[in-house]
Amino acid sequence: MAAKRIDLYDTTLRDGAQQEGISFTVSDKLKITQKLDELGINYIEGGWPGSNPKDTEFFEKAKNLKLKNAVLVAFGSTRRVDTDAEKDEGLKALVRAGTRAVNIVGKSSARQVTQVLETTLPNNLKIIRESVGFLKSRGLTVFYDAEHFFDGFKIDPDYAIDTLLAAQQGGVDCLVLCDTNGGTLPAEVADIVKQVRKKTSKPLGIHAHNDSELAVAVSLAAVENGAQHVEGTINGYGERCGNANLCSIIPALKLKMGYACVTARQLAKLTDASRFVAEVANLAPSSHQPYVGLSAFLHKAGLHVSALSKWEESYQHIDPELVGNSPKVVISELSGKSNIIFKAKELGIPIQPSGKEARRILEQIKELESLGFQYEDADASFELLIHRSQEGYKPPFELVDYMVVVERHRRLPAQGGKVEFLSEATIKVKVDNKIMHTASEGNGPVNALDFALRKGLLEFYPGLSKVDLIDYKVRILEGSSGTGSQVRVFIESSNGKVKWRTVGSSTNIIEASWLALYDSMEYFLLRVNKSARRKK
């Protein structure tokens, strides 16, 4: 027996764009549309034509898109109270958008009709019926978003149903029940959807907001009780607390509930789609987001990692690869030997489970973390720690010593009177048996150290010229010692193709920075660019 079909409707480009801090360009919207089409979304709501020039331009340019899976939808509202449907500019803009499907929002709560729309209850029913009928007469697929439906149903269930029947009389294709304020509980939604099914003949949909952290649960409850159409956004973007998160709904529908919504191949693109939309929106992806977050399948406790190495499902509710994600094991003072062995295996470094090496590394990590180091988000430093524990390991260079001078002086009034800073680093590094003694200036002490180190190593490792420090973070670990407090420094580096993170810690911010910088250069030479050394 074939699985029941559920239609997925994405409103990231309209409802999602109402989130504070998000502003998509037309180009952004076109790119996201293509990505959602690849994901297998059935309907993509592109915006509200006529409400702003950007959305009007989007629909014009979207006519050139070659979508394989999705139908583009234009969004609008029912006609104005004092205008006939044929003359309403909003409805005419929907027709001009040139999409095969449209979605109009209308009032389904009696209180909203009288207090916000400021018209009579019978007139609102006429508005809904005529608006839907006008769009259907133009040959369009019409969705009706019944705004405030659940809140309205609780106050006046008969009128809420009447609004749906008015849309049904107009020829609507799907009645979408909206939890607009996001305050309805899943059990309430389940009960109301059951009641609505008995009163209407058209397919039902659900559009939930996340103000109670229940939008996904509400959406799934509606599906369980008869909804065939689910609206939401990628990553749950949206106004206030956001919309129902399609990145959680889609795998739940397919993997947990057995509904047909996307193919297995499309589902495996979910994590990529989530991160792509976040990048276009210029927002950091939520690492703890279910299914698609970087930490969704992260394992830190030694007990968990030990079990995971024996049985992958022991601490994972699904195979991460099904949604395009992957498991991640991190190292910390909470780790056990299993964490060390698991990570070493990932890195291609064999460590015997029964030997003492893993225990020795673990004890070293616990000691270093007590001194302020942290390896959870500094895999490059952790990998170096393992390599350095191996017998016979020879680092590509060794520090002999360094000195940093920071000078502050004020120019004479005749010279402008500005304060000037000078940072100079002198460094000695040893490569094989040769000691390089160099000095360099920089716009700060860490920058000066970076330049001096490269200057001393470029003769041997010209590939280091490609390495850039792209992020630098300092954290005060415990402030009771004032300026003498322990600090932790994270450095993120890149050669334009690969990124890696290193860590250093000390009561001396320069030393903490040096340790992270030292690791960054050594890691690059060890793993990223093994052929960086010039042959003589």
Give 82-117 as a DSSP string.
Answer: TS-GGG-HHHHHHHHTT-SEEEEEEE--HHHIIIII
204 φ/ψ angles, rounded to the nearest 5 degrees: -105, 150
pTM of the model: 0.72
Radius of gyration of the CA atoms of the chain, in A:
30
First to last CA, the chain: 70
Find the Cα–Cα–Cα–Cα dihedral 78, 84, 88, 94, rounded to 10°: 50
Show me where the domains of the chain are located.
Answer: 11-256, 298-370, 397-460
Q: Parallel, antiparallel, or unpaired: how do β-strands 43-47 and 71-77 relate?
A: parallel
Long-range contacts of 462-466 (CB under 8 A, 24+ apart): 462/532, 462/534, 463/495, 463/524, 463/525, 463/529, 463/531, 463/532, 463/533, 464/521, 464/524, 464/525, 464/532, 466/495, 466/496, 466/529
3-class DSSP state of 440: strand
The per-residue pLDDT string of the chain (536 residues; one tens digit each, 9 = 90 and over) reads 556 899 999 999 999 999 999 999 999 999 999 999 999 999 999 999 988 899 999 999 999 999 999 999 999 999 999 999 999 999 999 999 999 999 999 999 999 999 999 999 999 999 999 999 999 999 999 999 999 999 999 999 999 999 999 999 999 999 999 999 999 999 999 999 999 999 999 999 999 999 999 999 999 999 999 999 999 999 999 999 999 999 999 999 999 999 999 999 999 999 999 999 999 999 988 889 999 988 776 656 555 545 555 556 656 788 889 999 887 665 554 455 566 666 667 667 666 655 677 777 777 777 777 777 877 778 888 888 888 877 788 899 999 999 999 887 766 565 566 777 789 999 999 998 899 999 999 888 899 999 999 999 998 998 888 899 889 888 887 656 666 678 899 999 998 888 999 999 998 899 999 999 999 999 999 876 665 444 44
Tokens of 325: 């994600």
pLDDT of residue 478: 67
Q: Which CATH number fits domain 397-460: 3.40.50, 3.30.1370, 3.30.160, 1.10.8?
A: 3.30.160
Closest C-alpha to 536, from 465, 460, 485: 460
| CATH architecture classification, 11-256 | Alpha-Beta Barrel (3.20)
